Structure 1
Amino acid sequence: MLLGDISTWLWIDLVLILILVWMFGAQLYWWQRGKRVAKIVENDEFKQGLRKGQVIDLRDSAEFDRSHILGARNMPFAQFELFQGSLRKDAPVYLYDTSKAMPIRIASRLKKAGFKDIYILKGGFSKWDGKKKSKKL
């Protein structure tokens, strides 16, 4: 019976290791993909581009209404295709969300559509330390 227990624990360990490898691989994939389609920038560089670029908040409307980067336009990820036509290809596009996965997916679409200057806020909205517009309760 002891051998059966050891075998079970080895399988559990193997599955856990595979899950960790998959998680690490997924993060590496998104990081590499992000670097190809957009420049991932820190707060300071993102702030510098606010005046000359198009700042797009990809979060849903409720989150945007609660608080967003001052000057940002809300284009929820799920409805982005409806809004994409209103973006100018000759002006930089600055994207943010709560994570990096959605902005990278949108940046990929924009790159395919001919946009050249695409920037993603590293760490998303939760890491933003600049001016915000918040709804007063």
Structure 2
Amino acid sequence: MKEITTKELAQKVLAGEKLYIIDVREDNEVAQGKIPGANHIKLGDIPDKLGELDQKRHYYMVCRSGGRSGKAATFLEDKGFDVTNVAGGMLNWEEELEK
């Protein structure tokens, strides 16, 4: 599984790159803030949302610490998606949050 640090991802976000970030945390966690522009799809909902994802896109998966997003990344990779897990998750995110 490919991984990226939060600092590397933050550089891409701040540079204005067109990114597809999926936050797999629970509703109450996301309510505290998420990476600007990230889409929220709870981990348990990923299988039901496959039809809404584009296999031509590269997705960055994020959660609180990197565990749940790692599971989501592995699941999506097995389905043919190009994904990168955000190592350390939101615990390591130091930039502004979208609320």
TM-score between the two structures when normalised by the length of structure 2:
0.84
From 18, 28, 40, give the equivalent of 2:3. Answer: 40
Question: Does the 8 Å contact 2:7/2:93 carry over to 1?
Answer: no
* Partner residue, 1:62: 28
Moved over 2 A (4+): 49-53
Which of 32, 50, 71 is equivalent to 2:37?
A: 71
Give matches, 1:90-109, under 5 Å: 90-109=56-75
- Within 1, Cα distance between the matches of 2:27 and 2:80? 27
Distance 1:100 1:65 in 2: 18
Give the Å deviation of 1:66. 2.0
Shift of 1:101: 2.0
2:97 counterpart of 1:128: no
1:46 partner amino acid: L
The structure, 1 or 2, with the larger RCO (C-alpha pairs under 8 Å, 6+ apart) is: 2
Cα contact 1:96–1:121 (8 A) shared by 2 = yes
Query: Which structure dedicates a bigger proportion of its chain to helix?
Result: 1
The root-mean-square deviation of aligned C-alpha atoms, in Å, is 1.7
Cα distance in 2, alignment partners of residues 46 and 119 from structure 1: 10
Gaps of 5+ in 2: none
1:122 to partner: Cα distance: 1.5
Structure 1: runs of 5+ lacking an equivalent: 1-36
TM-score normalised by the chain length of structure 1: 0.63
Max radius of gyration: which structure?
1
**For this pair of structures, how many residues does the alignment match?**
96
